[in-house]
Chain A
Amino acid sequence: RKEVEQDPGPFNVPEGATVAFNCTYSNSASQSFFWYRQDCRKEPKLLMSVYSSGNEDGRFTAQLNRASQYISLLIRDSKLSDSATYLCVVNALQDNNDMRFGAGTRLTVKP
């Protein structure tokens, strides 16, 4: 089993749609959770951290379920500019040197 698993997609949705991605992780001791966005042939960029209570940033909502060991990202009112690959990242340790990356979920938003 991979340490961080994501549905690779692709997810093809029309503009304005709501789309949700899930990510599961295997290490129950994982401490911190993130979603990164990666555009084609570019570097990953931090989209948002994921907090235990769930958090929202504009059209983006992240949820964490520790009992089931999964993280979700919900995008509302999808824009063309949301087209990218979304990476789930899990940090297993107290410090920063064990971030584990999922392979990513690819999203294409169409007009």
Chain B
Amino acid sequence: NAGVTQTPKFRILKIGQSMTLQCTQDMNHNYMYWYRQDPGMGLKLIYYSVGAGITDKGEVPNGYNVSRSTTEDFPLRLELAAPSQTSVYFCASNFPRTAKNYGYTFGSGTRLTVV
């Protein structure tokens, strides 16, 4: 049981480049999320998904896109990278609130630098 797996762990992008951050979970969680964490700030929700085929914007969606074709995978796409997207990105998953324990399980993060 690997939990939530994110790849890559580190990446340096040039301004204007694109990339996909991968996230996969093997816990059969319905809900998945992408957050970014900037120094001294709380995690900010980028996008989330309540199940395969369903995605919604979070607090800071601009410059990102997601898809959820399977329960396990929730990739985050950055188009036209900008320095403001330099951050640590965390993927998370959980069961709905009706489940006994619906705390998040986070992946280990992707440290992205845009230069």
Contacts and interface: CB of A to CB of B under 8 A. Distances in A.
Contact of B45 (A34, A95, A99, A103): A99
Contacts of A98: 45
Interface size grouping (class) on chain B: 20 to 34
B96 A103 contact: no
Interface stretch (B11-19, B65-73, B74-82, B103-111): B103-111
Most buried by B among A97, A98, A102: A97
B102 A103 contact: no
Most buried by A among B31, B96, B103: B103
Interface size grouping (class) on chain A: 20 to 34
Contacts of A49: 103
Interface of B: 31, 33, 35, 40-45, 48, 50, 56, 58, 90, 94, 96-97, 102-109
Interface of A: 2, 4, 8, 31-32, 34, 36, 42-46, 49, 87, 91, 94-104
